[in-house]
Amino acid sequence: MGGNIVQFMPAFTEHDPRFRPWGDDVDGEALPSAAGRALQPAGSAGHAGGAGEWQRQTARLERLRHQLQALDALEQAQRQARATELQPLREERRQLQRALVRGLVPWLDDKALSQRQRALARERLCALAQSLADAGDAEMRALHDRHSAVDLAGKREAAALALRQRLEAQLGQTLDLGVAPLTPEAVWATAQARFREAEERQRERREARQAQRRRKRQARQPDAVGPADTNPAEAEQLLRRLYRQLASHLHPDRAAGEADRAQRTARMGRANAAYEARDLMALLHLRAEVMPPAGDVRPDGQDGAAMLALLRQQVAALERRRAARQAELAQVFALAPGQVAQPATLAADLAAKRQALVSAIEALRADLRRLDDPPALRRWLKEG
């Protein structure tokens, strides 16, 4: 029932291993779809694992796409379950908390309690009113400010200062809020921006080291060039060639009629979206769908290496997207640090939150009964 300024502080997300791969998605042996095998670059056998590597990456890509779809469905199911199961309990708890605050007010000046007990009752009232005021309850804010030595605005400022000091110590730099007011939310937003900048600099340094290692390896073994060593410009040229090939083939001037023109327009929309997203597989699927096997994009030699490099990039991008999605869900559903947003974890979290609410409601009902029993009230305040 007690409270302090720490509750003003936004939940701090530590850098933890919560976003490890979900399920069996660690270089599994599941085969890709028939379409994925059909699109395999024939000449990739000489590059870092050859056909087997293409199959592994294609299977991984498909699993990641399915997992992202599953995360979307999981979010909707959890939102509905929490609205149905938790929201009524939260509202019941809120009403009981408000009743307890109101019930404590008369005791603040009641001589049946000692001066120390009245001070403890005031602390209880202010802590509970503060938590309700933070959720937007104007009546509880007024009650808090009436009975607290420091009003809510003052406590928020103190909390913002404490949070700022904590985050500046972790960042090793001063947080410049600019023209933003000194609030916990402004401090947190500024710190998060600095954390993202630091992570981006770290990523750039890591990529620079990797590029340097590739250059050294190529200098030692100029003939041992695989997809991971493919020049990014070559991969980009391949992607552009695929897109231009499709754009030329799908040009509306080649339409045999209005129905064909509409179909070409729809397919060109798919090509535009795939190219913008650097989605190699979508472009290859569309190419296989609308064009004969012949074409100026050769499924061998350097084209094969570039295709495999692009596929790996696409897999890596989806892995980052999955991790970001899990991070988002972990934050949305307030999972504990270290917990991964997946079905079993979220189900256990929902059950734990439900039980915590039920226990809180039972405790509040017991607290309300103590208001009519002075000896029990004194014991409760002493236990505080």
pLDDT per position as a tens digit, 323-356: 999 999 998 999 988 888 999 999 999 999 999 9
pLDDT, greater one: 222 or 21? 222
Q: What is the pLDDT of residue 204?
A: 87
Instruction: Please compute the mean of the pLDDT values over residues 274-298 and round it to a whole number.
Output: 75
Tokens found for residue 214:
């590739």
Q: What is the pLDDT of residue 296?
A: 47
Q: What is the pLDDT of residue 293?
A: 64
184 found inside a domain: yes
Confidence of residue 362 (pLDDT cuts 50, 70, 90): very high
Confidence of residue 231 (pLDDT cuts 50, 70, 90): low
Q: What is the pLDDT of residue 65?
A: 92
Which range marks the domain in which residue 220 is found? 159-228
Considering only 110-119, 127-136, 204-213, which range has the smallest mean pLDDT? 204-213
pLDDT, greater one: 301 or 378? 378
246 found inside a domain: no
Instruction: Please compute the mean of the pLDDT values over residues 133-149 and round it to a whole number.
Output: 95
Reply yes or no on whether the pLDDT at 228 is more than 80: no
Confidence of residue 291 (pLDDT cuts 50, 70, 90): confident
pLDDT, greater one: 109 or 6? 109
User: What does pTM read for this prediction?
Assistant: 0.65
Give me the number of domains the chain comprises: 1
Q: What is the pLDDT of residue 39?
A: 53
Reply yes or no on whether the pLDDT at 287 is more than 60: yes
Write down the mean pLDDT value for the chain.
82
119 found inside a domain: no
188 found inside a domain: yes
Confidence of residue 29 (pLDDT cuts 50, 70, 90): very low
* Report for 59-63, 228-232, 380-384: range of highest mean pLDDT: 59-63
Q: What is the pLDDT of residue 384?
A: 67
200 found inside a domain: yes
Reply yes or no on whether the pLDDT at 241 is more than 50: yes
12 found inside a domain: no
380 found inside a domain: no
Q: What is the pLDDT of residue 19?
A: 37
Confidence of residue 181 (pLDDT cuts 50, 70, 90): confident
202 found inside a domain: yes
Q: What percent of the chain has pLDDT over 70?
A: 80
Q: What is the pLDDT of residue 301?
A: 53
Q: What is the pLDDT of residue 179?
A: 79
